[in-house]
Amino acid sequence: MPKPSLIALIVIGLGSVSLCDAQEVGFIRIFDGKTLNGWSAPDMSYWSVEEGAITGRATREHPNPKSRWLVWQGGEVGDFELKLKFRIYGTVEANSGVQFRTVFSSENTHASGYQADLVRDPVWMGLIYDEGTGRKVLTHRGDRTVIDEAGGRATKKFADSAKLFKLVKLDGWNEYRVIARGNDLRAIINGHLMSEVIDRDKKYFRATGFIGLQLHSGPPMEVQFKDILLKKYLSARPPVSAARTWTLEDPQERASLPEFQKEAAAKISELTPANGYPRRKAYLQCGRIGFLTYSVET
């Protein structure tokens, strides 16, 4: 085995950007675990940081009569992978979600774009929704849906919805991964694909937009998010080899999930909230020796 070259990097003043804190190379940390710096909402009284997590809360004393979003201020995001941990408390009506490729109104009272649903109700958890356009549910948990250019839909079930719901810890922490590459949108909870949509609708498909966390209107509830990591991609890859488009009748031609994790990492100097794009062909592996953070180029 060739001996890898070792480059010791003393990490000073990186703020919320941390390469080696991320579980996978190429991610940036977009929540510092202590403050709401970099996140904004017109009414911040519903949002705080508690126990190292972004916390959205509605109570009887401070009710939430309309849906609202805490929006990441790092700019629009096109093709990406987002990873975070969440937990949600309340009745079966406790409702939240991860908004992406979305446009928000100036008052932040209206959103138009995709949402990976996060709801205690077993019907809604893990599905992909289109907020604000009238299309509503794009694909249910356990379903893979193709939406054609005219808005027609073809759906095939890949897993049992009830069994997938049992994989969610309703009163504990869960990991949510949202992947958007071109027309291919996927919602993954605790390592299990929950839903997927290929959206080719000419009228409603959105290729880029903002990321936000929702606190839905309704009864008292609480939702928390932590360890929020983002990886941007330069451009969408075809979902199948030879640039062929997979169909429900030809599922073996569809790319596997690991295909989305084989991007080259960026140099640490290039990995910032402003870009976050991989620029190099080399892969970097991270570790620590004492107070030194280092990377090994392979």
DSSP of 153-199: EEEEE-S-HHHHHTTS-TTS-EEEEEEEETTEEEEEETTEEEEEEEE
* Domains identified in the chain and CATH numbers: 1-26+263-298 (no CATH), 27-262 (2.60.120.560)
Across the range 142-164, mean pLDDT stands at 96
Taking a C-beta distance cutoff of 8 angstroms, is the pair 291, 9 a contact?
no
Give the pLDDT of residue 108. 60
Instruction: Check pLDDT > 60 for residue 165.
Output: yes
pLDDT of residue 109: 66
Q: Who wins on pLDDT, 286 or 2?
A: 2
State residue 110's pLDDT score: 83
Helices (H) and strands (E) in the chain, counts: 1, 20
- Helix/strand/coil for 257: helix
- Tell whether the model's pLDDT for residue 288 goes beyond 50: no
Residue with tokens 């940390």: 29
Instruction: Give the pLDDT mean for 243-261.
Output: 38
**pLDDT score for 283:** 29
Please determine, for residue 95, whether its predicted confidence score (pLDDT) is greater than 80: yes
pLDDT band at 237 (very low <50, low <70, confident <90, very high): low
